Amino acid sequence: MGLRRVRDFNEAMLMKQAWRVLTNPESLSARLLKSRYFPYIHLWDATLDRNPSYMWRSIHSTVHKLREGCRWRVGDGNLISICKDSWLQDQQDPKIQSPVREGLYDEKVRSLLDCNSRGWDVDVIKDLFNSRDQNLIFSIPISCNQQEDK
Protein backbone atom coordinates (compact mmCIF):
# COMPACT_ATOMS: atom_id res chain seq x y z
CA MET A 1 0.00 0.00 0.00
CA GLY A 2 2.88 2.37 0.72
CA LEU A 3 4.38 1.89 -2.75
CA ARG A 4 1.12 2.87 -4.39
CA ARG A 5 1.01 6.12 -2.45
CA VAL A 6 4.57 6.91 -3.51
CA ARG A 7 3.71 6.19 -7.15
CA ASP A 8 0.58 8.38 -6.96
CA PHE A 9 2.55 11.16 -5.28
CA ASN A 10 5.23 10.97 -7.98
CA GLU A 11 2.59 11.11 -10.71
CA ALA A 12 0.97 14.14 -9.05
CA MET A 13 4.32 15.94 -8.93
CA LEU A 14 4.95 15.18 -12.61
CA MET A 15 1.49 16.51 -13.52
CA LYS A 16 2.29 19.61 -11.51
CA GLN A 17 5.40 20.13 -13.65
CA ALA A 18 3.35 19.72 -16.83
CA TRP A 19 0.82 22.22 -15.45
CA ARG A 20 3.64 24.70 -14.83
CA VAL A 21 4.75 24.35 -18.44
CA LEU A 22 1.18 25.18 -19.52
CA THR A 23 0.54 28.05 -17.13
CA ASN A 24 3.98 29.62 -17.02
CA PRO A 25 5.37 29.26 -20.56
CA GLU A 26 7.99 31.95 -20.02
CA SER A 27 9.75 30.08 -17.21
CA LEU A 28 13.20 28.74 -17.99
CA SER A 29 12.17 25.11 -17.59
CA ALA A 30 9.12 25.55 -19.85
CA ARG A 31 11.16 27.28 -22.55
CA LEU A 32 13.83 24.56 -22.41
CA LEU A 33 11.33 21.72 -22.65
CA LYS A 34 9.40 23.44 -25.44
CA SER A 35 12.50 24.23 -27.50
CA ARG A 36 13.76 20.66 -27.24
CA TYR A 37 10.64 18.51 -27.39
CA PHE A 38 7.70 20.45 -28.88
CA PRO A 39 8.95 23.69 -30.51
CA TYR A 40 6.12 24.11 -33.04
CA ILE A 41 3.15 22.50 -31.32
CA HIS A 42 1.17 22.65 -28.07
CA LEU A 43 2.10 20.46 -25.10
CA TRP A 44 -1.06 18.40 -25.65
CA ASP A 45 0.22 17.33 -29.07
CA ALA A 46 3.83 16.68 -28.06
CA THR A 47 5.25 13.23 -28.73
CA LEU A 48 8.20 11.24 -27.49
CA ASP A 49 10.83 11.56 -30.18
CA ARG A 50 13.89 9.39 -30.26
CA ASN A 51 16.08 9.52 -27.20
CA PRO A 52 13.99 11.71 -24.85
CA SER A 53 15.37 12.56 -21.44
CA TYR A 54 14.09 10.69 -18.40
CA MET A 55 12.52 13.91 -17.14
CA TRP A 56 10.62 14.57 -20.38
CA ARG A 57 9.50 10.95 -20.68
CA SER A 58 8.18 11.11 -17.11
CA ILE A 59 6.36 14.42 -17.58
CA HIS A 60 4.98 13.33 -20.94
CA SER A 61 3.54 10.16 -19.38
CA THR A 62 1.15 12.29 -17.28
CA VAL A 63 0.01 14.78 -19.94
CA HIS A 64 -2.97 12.65 -21.06
CA LYS A 65 -4.37 12.55 -17.50
CA LEU A 66 -3.82 16.26 -17.06
CA ARG A 67 -5.54 16.96 -20.38
CA GLU A 68 -8.61 14.96 -19.31
CA GLY A 69 -9.04 17.17 -16.25
CA CYS A 70 -8.45 20.50 -17.99
CA ARG A 71 -10.89 22.76 -19.81
CA TRP A 72 -10.02 25.28 -22.46
CA ARG A 73 -11.06 28.90 -22.19
CA VAL A 74 -12.00 30.05 -25.69
CA GLY A 75 -10.14 33.10 -26.98
CA ASP A 76 -9.33 33.28 -30.69
CA GLY A 77 -10.05 29.56 -31.22
CA ASN A 78 -6.73 28.81 -32.90
CA LEU A 79 -5.52 26.16 -30.43
CA ILE A 80 -8.71 24.29 -29.55
CA SER A 81 -9.77 21.24 -31.54
CA ILE A 82 -13.54 21.09 -31.97
CA CYS A 83 -13.76 17.31 -31.53
CA LYS A 84 -10.66 16.31 -29.56
CA ASP A 85 -10.51 18.91 -26.79
CA SER A 86 -12.57 19.59 -23.67
CA TRP A 87 -13.90 23.09 -24.21
CA LEU A 88 -17.63 23.05 -23.47
CA GLN A 89 -18.87 24.23 -20.08
CA ASP A 90 -20.31 20.92 -18.92
CA GLN A 91 -18.90 19.12 -15.88
CA GLN A 92 -20.02 15.63 -16.97
CA ASP A 93 -19.01 15.77 -20.63
CA PRO A 94 -17.10 18.85 -21.82
CA LYS A 95 -16.61 17.48 -25.34
CA ILE A 96 -18.84 17.66 -28.40
CA GLN A 97 -21.48 14.89 -28.43
CA SER A 98 -22.87 15.54 -31.90
CA PRO A 99 -21.95 13.04 -34.63
CA VAL A 100 -18.72 14.20 -36.27
CA ARG A 101 -19.08 15.14 -39.90
CA GLU A 102 -16.35 14.44 -42.39
CA GLY A 103 -13.65 17.10 -42.31
CA LEU A 104 -14.68 18.43 -38.90
CA TYR A 105 -12.46 16.16 -36.80
CA ASP A 106 -9.27 18.20 -37.32
CA GLU A 107 -10.92 21.63 -37.38
CA LYS A 108 -10.26 24.26 -34.72
CA VAL A 109 -12.86 26.29 -32.84
CA ARG A 110 -11.86 29.37 -34.88
CA SER A 111 -13.83 27.88 -37.79
CA LEU A 112 -17.01 28.31 -35.69
CA LEU A 113 -16.38 32.03 -35.17
CA ASP A 114 -17.73 34.84 -37.35
CA CYS A 115 -14.84 37.21 -38.08
CA ASN A 116 -17.14 40.15 -38.84
CA SER A 117 -19.28 40.05 -35.72
CA ARG A 118 -16.52 38.60 -33.49
CA GLY A 119 -19.01 36.11 -32.15
CA TRP A 120 -20.25 32.62 -32.92
CA ASP A 121 -21.28 31.80 -36.49
CA VAL A 122 -24.86 30.87 -35.61
CA ASP A 123 -25.74 29.29 -38.97
CA VAL A 124 -22.70 27.01 -39.01
CA ILE A 125 -23.21 25.89 -35.41
CA LYS A 126 -26.91 25.17 -35.93
CA ASP A 127 -26.05 23.16 -39.03
CA LEU A 128 -23.31 21.05 -37.41
CA PHE A 129 -24.36 20.35 -33.83
CA ASN A 130 -27.26 18.95 -31.83
CA SER A 131 -29.26 21.21 -29.50
CA ARG A 132 -27.24 20.22 -26.40
CA ASP A 133 -23.95 21.22 -28.06
CA GLN A 134 -25.48 24.36 -29.58
CA ASN A 135 -26.67 25.59 -26.19
CA LEU A 136 -23.29 24.90 -24.59
CA ILE A 137 -21.40 26.63 -27.40
CA PHE A 138 -23.64 29.71 -27.38
CA SER A 139 -23.21 29.99 -23.60
CA ILE A 140 -19.46 30.55 -24.03
CA PRO A 141 -18.61 34.26 -24.18
CA ILE A 142 -16.22 35.36 -26.92
CA SER A 143 -13.48 37.86 -26.16
CA CYS A 144 -13.69 41.05 -28.21
CA ASN A 145 -9.92 41.56 -28.21
CA GLN A 146 -9.10 38.13 -29.69
CA GLN A 147 -6.98 36.79 -26.83
CA GLU A 148 -5.20 33.47 -27.25
CA ASP A 149 -6.97 30.33 -26.05
CA LYS A 150 -6.04 29.27 -22.53
Q: For 111-123, how does the pLDDT look when each residue is reduced to its tens digit (9 = 90+)?
A: 999 877 778 999 9
Q: What is the band of 90 on the pLDDT scale with cuts at 50, 70, 90?
A: confident
Q: How far apart are the first and last CA of the chain?
A: 37
Residue ranges per domain, the chain? 2-69, 71-150
Interhelix angle 54-69/2-23, rounded to 10 degrees, is 80
pTM value is: 0.72
Q: Report whether 38 contacts 52 (CB < 8 A).
A: no
Q: What is the band of 1 on the pLDDT scale with cuts at 50, 70, 90?
A: low
| Residue 121: predicted pLDDT | 92
